[in-house]
Every structure is written in structure tokens, then in C-alpha cells.
Structure 1
Amino acid sequence: MSLLTNVMDHSLDDGYAEAAARKGTEEGGAGLPRTVRARLGLAAGLVLAGLVVTVGAAQARVAAPTVAKEREELIDRIQRETAAADKLESTVDTLRDDVSARQRAALKQNGGDDRADLVGILSGAVAVHGPGMKLVVNDAREASSGGNGNPRQTSGFSDTGRVRDRDMQRAVNGLWESGAEAIAINGQRLTALSAIRAAGDAILVDNRPLVPPYTVLAVGDGDRLSTRFQDSADGLYLHALRENYGIRTSISVEHDVRLPAAPSVIVRTAQPSTEKGTS
């Protein structure tokens, strides 16, 4: 009887009772199940994330008008400066034309009008037009600033079909040697003081950046100039670039080539004449 009484009074083993008590403690003093507490934590996290996004959106909305205003002010400033530069350039062109006219008039009085025209043409100080030729040089279709595939190695760096400043230097020098009387690249007139240089991947002519395709116009005897240039070492150099690296070139004879005056021609040394005419 004592055994049956003990079984009835202690229906659960002491180990089971201890495990049940431990589980209740882990579920929290508030009596909430673990899954409920996890859901509450997730909900709190979502609320916090939503609050952060809302605050960020509000701040962006507040800052948007300021950014838009600054952008509009920058655009207005660029437009004003561009208009001012265009106006100054127009004034320079007008003054240059006036100076050229006065020079021709003064030289004409002294019997030097023909010589003045020739000097103006050769120096690039006046606009010219006449027969000539057009040379167009452009990057290869697959040109890139780096990569693989038969690069030209010069001075430690490689070309992969890009036109370089040295290529344009050779083309221009070849045209001068072939009999060109005046040359311009992309509308930029060349003079005896012009420089063709590189700045990164850009080509500069008298410190003005040019972009491909590079159109070279040359005044001279078109047929003769074209033939002599293509047969020259520099013409053959361009032909090799086209064959080996895909650089695109084209040459055509033009009946009327028009070149502007060089914008940077200045008189570096001049002295007034002290000679007097004799009767």
C-alpha cells in the first residue's frame, strides 16, 4: 500500500518536473512563449526600420529644394559665362578684322599690299580659301585606352587604335612638306608657332582640345598635294596605321577649301619705320 500511495502522490518523475520548471523559466517571467517574443522583436525591428526610412525621406525632401536651387544657379552661371565668352570672342574677331584692314591699307600706301597678303596667308593671320585637299583621321572602331591585340609600343605605353598626337604631327608635317600653303585641324588654323600635344587621351592644338574625327583641311594644288602626300613617308605612315591598327583615314581633293584666321597670331617684335621716301 505504501508503494501505491507513493506512485499516486508522485506521478511525475523528479527529473521531468525539474525540466518542466526550467522550460517555464526560459519562456520568461511574463509567461510569454518564445515564439511570441520573437515576433514582437521582429515587429519592433520593422517599426524602427520604417522610422529610419521615414526620417531619411523627410530629410531628403527638405534638402531637395536646396540642391535644385544650387543646380539652377550653377546652370545659370555657366550660361552667363558662356554668353560672355562668346561676346568677347566676337569682339576679338571684329578687332582682328579691323587691324588686318588697317595693316593692308597702310602697306598699300607704301606699295606693299601684295606682300602683306602673302605674309598674312603664310602666317595664318588672315582667313584663306582656295583649292586643296581634305584628310580625315579617326580612331579605329574597336579603339580603347587599353586592352589586348597588337598594340603600338612607344615610350612605355600602348595604343590600341587611337589616334595620337604624334600621328597628327606627322600628318601635318607631311602636308607642309607636300606643298600645303595653309592648314587647319577641326577648324583650328595652324601657324609656324602651333603645337600639337597630348593631354591624356585628348589631342591639343594650341592648347585647345580636339575630338575625333580629326578633319585636316589644306589649301594648295589639290591633285598634286594629294598625290605627293600619299607618296610621302608620312602618308605611308598613315597607310600603315590603317592597315595594321584599323585607324580610319580618307583623303579627297576639294575645289574650295575655306580656313579661318588663327586666333592667337600676335606681333611679337615691331619697330616703326624711320626711313623717309626720296623724290
Structure 2
Amino acid sequence: MPQPPPVRSTPTPPSRPDASMSLLTNVMDHSLDDGYAEAAARKRAAGDRGLPKTLRAKLGLAAGLVLAALVVTVGAAQARVAAPVMAKEREELIDRIDRETAAAEKLEDSVDELRADVSARQREALKTSGGSDQAELVGVLAGAVEVHGPGVKLIVNDAKEAGTDGDGDPRGSSGFSDTGRVRDRDMQRVVNGLWESGAEAISINGQRLTALSAIRAAGDAILVDNKPLVPPYTVLAVGDGEGLSRRFQDSADGLYLNALQENFGIRTNISVQDDLRLPAAPSVTVRTAQPNTEKTEKGTS
């Protein structure tokens, strides 16, 4: 009996290397562009181009386009018209600022001239009131005359990176937000320390200090007699140079300044000078105090 031929199985084709990535393969082989093309073909077959079909819809679309074009045109026209007006107003404002600045500078020069004239008259009055050494001493102590002599030169400047925080605030609870900046309170302590250490005349950045001088703050600026100063602050003090420098550095205010330098990076430098020249102070106006002449009258009676 003949044997049936053996059944031959169909050989299995080899699997694709990317069979495990069928989803990615499908996305790559069938991009979304085909879907868009099919949708566009259906719209063309249906005669739908996405435009309004009724007359009312077409009129509404046309009115909307005209309105949009009108808004853009009006905006552009207004911008072109307003630009020259704004430029003119800006020029007028700049001219006004320049005029006011020039007038303020002229008034400031006039004030300086009047102060110099009053100071000269005060010095002349001190010289002619008997011509005694006592009158000259009063002028020196009052700051009404220029002085020169040995002393110390102290430079106080802000930290290189103002605003860094330090450990242990030597200024206590003063509430300063920027500890790297020199403040009016610091300069007050420096000046008081120099007076206490034996200074006979002091100036800060060319501003002579008197018994009526005030060191205050306006924002971040330090004012001396209402004049703003710019760091670095150069303090000149006439007195016994070596002794004045030693006594100040050993005083509480000198140690305070040293603490500012160590903790906050405030830069200081003190040096002994052989000859310092300090200008006279602006005119000192006394409105209330009167000299006491009772003792003089009793002595001559």
C-alpha cells in the first residue's frame, strides 16, 4: 500500500527586528498627514470649503473683515499722529528740567558767595574786636576761620560688596538693612570719638564742623549741615597727631569702628599728618543765645 506523501509545513518567515516596537512603527508608517489628506478629500467631495454659504453669513464675514481692517488702520493712524506729540512733550520736559537745574545751580552759587561774604565779615569783626588772642581763639573754636596744623586723616568707606551680613552687629538694634554701608550713626560716633580724643577742629569731605553741625541721613545719603556727602568719607582732625591717633583708636568709638571693619568689611584707614588745612565753616547764625554781660558789668562797677 503506497504511503501518503509527507505533509510539508509552510516555513515561518523571520520576524522583523522592530516587531516589539509595533506602535512606533505604525506611527512612522502612517503619519497624521494621511488623516488630514483624507479629511480634505471628504470635504472636497462634499463641496464644503469652510466658507459661509448663505448671503447673511457672507455679509457678516465681510463686515467683520472690514471692521478689523478699520481698527488696524485707525490704530496705526493714531500712533503716527501721537508720536510727534509725545516727542515734542518729551523735548519740552527735558528743556524745562535743564532750565530748572541751571537756575538751582545759579542759586546755589549765589548762596555760597553770600556765605563766604558773611564768613569774611565775621572774621573781620573778630579781628577788630580788640585784636586780642582771645578773639582769634573764639574764631578757631567757632569754626569761623581757616585753621592748619598737625593731626590725623581718617578715611571711612563702604565695603567692597555692600550688603553682606556679618556675625554680631556692633550697631545694636539700629535696624540697618545694608550692613556694608557707612551710616550717619557711624560718622556721628567717629566725630564724637575724635572730639573726645582731643581734636581741636574737624572737617568731613571739606565740610568744617561746628557746635551747630548736624550729621544726618536722607535715604542712603549722609548729610553734613544739609549737604550730601559721597563716599569715601575723609575726616580731617587737627590736634596732637600721634596722641590723637592713639587715644582715638583706644577709645570706645575707635573700637566700634574697628568692629565695623572686621564684621562688615567697612574700609578704614587712619594716618598721622604733619600739616592739615581745614576751611572755615559756613556762616553760623545764632538766633537765640545771647552773651552773658552781667559779670562784666559787675566787675567794672
Measured against the shorter chain, the TM-score band is 0.7 to 0.9
1:105 aligns with 2:128: yes
Structure 1 contact 151–160 (Cα < 8 Å) conserved: no
Q: Which residue of 2 aligns with 1:62?
A: 85
What is aligned with 2:142? 123
Q: Distance in 2 between matches of 1:188 and 1:213?
A: 14
Q: What residue in structure 1 maps to residue 180 of structure 2?
A: 161
Unaligned 5+ runs, structure 2: 1-41
Q: Tell me the SS of whatever aligns to 1:163.
A: coil
Where does 1:1-279 land on structure 2 (aligned, <5 Å)?
Answer: 27-30=52-55, 41=65, 45=68, 48-49=71-72, 51-108=74-131, 113-144=132-163, 150=167, 152=169, 154-267=173-286, 268-270=289-291
> What secondary structure sits across from 1:154 in the alignment?
coil
Structure 1: distance between partners of 2:86 and 2:121: 53
Rounded Cα–Cα distance in structure 2 between residues aligned with 1:252 and 1:87: 36
CA change 1:259–1:162 in 2 (3 A) is same
Q: Which amino acid aligns with 1:120?
A: G
Check the 8 A contact 1:136/1:250 in 2, yes or no.
Answer: yes
* Structure 1 residue 76, shift from structure 2 partner: 1.5
Contact 1:180-1:218 at 8 Å conserved across structures: yes
Residues in 1 aligned to 2:166 and 2:246: alpha-carbon distance in whole angstroms: 32
Deviation larger for 227-236 or 246-255: 227-236
Q: Could you tell me how far 1:135 is from its partner in structure 2?
A: 0.6
Q: Structure 2: which amino acid aligns with 1:117? A: E
Q: Unaligned stretches of 5+ in structure 1?
A: 1-15
Q: Return the alpha-carbon distance in structure 2 between the equivalents of residues 106 and 225 of structure 1.
A: 33
Q: Which one is further off, 221-230 or 154-163?
A: 154-163
CA distance in 2 between partners of 1:184 and 1:171 (Å): 12
Question: Residues 134 and 57 of structure 1: is their aligned pair in 2 closer, same or farther, counting only changes over 3 Å?
Answer: farther
CA distance in 2, matches of 1:271, 1:231: 38
Q: Which whole-Å CA distance do the structure 2 matches of 1:164 and 1:127 have between them?
A: 28
TM-aligned CA deviation for residue 150 of structure 1: 4.1
Distance change in 2, residues 1:266/1:32 (3 Å): closer
Deviates more, 1:247-256 or 1:60-69: 60-69
Aligned length, in residue pairs: 249
Distance verdict in 2 for CA 1:209–1:24, change over 3 Å: closer
Distance 1:85 1:115 in 2: 34
- 8 Å contact from structure 2 (residues 166, 264) kept in 1: no
Any conservation in 2 of the 1:185–1:216 contact (CA below 8 Å)?
Answer: yes
User: 1:164, CA displacement in angstroms?
Assistant: 1.6
Q: TM-score, normalised by structure 2?
A: 0.71
Q: Distance in 2 between matches of 1:159 and 1:62?
A: 43
Does structure 2 retain, via aligned residues, the 8 Å contact 1:132–1:219?
yes
Post-superposition Cα deviations, 1:51-96, rounded to whole Å, max 9, x if no partner, equal: 4134213212133223312321331132023113202321221232
Taking the aligned partners of 1:185 and 1:25, their CA distance within structure 2 comes to: 82
Q: Is the 2:153–2:236 Cα contact (8 Å) retained in structure 1?
A: yes
Structure 2 Cα separation of the partners of residues 141 and 151 of structure 1: 19
TM-score between the two structures when normalised by the length of structure 1? 0.76
Change (3 A) 1:24 1:201: closer
Moved more, 192-201 or 228-237: 192-201
1:219: Cα distance to partner?
Answer: 0.7
Larger radius of gyration: 2
Q: Aligned letter for 1:269? A: Q
Matches of 2:254 and 2:67, distance apart in 1 = 76
- Is the 8 Å Cα contact of residues 124 and 190 (structure 1) preserved in structure 2? yes
- 1:3 corresponds in structure 2 to none
Give distance in 2, aligned partners of 1:174 and 1:52: 68
Native 8 Å contact 2:162 2:181 kept in 1:
yes
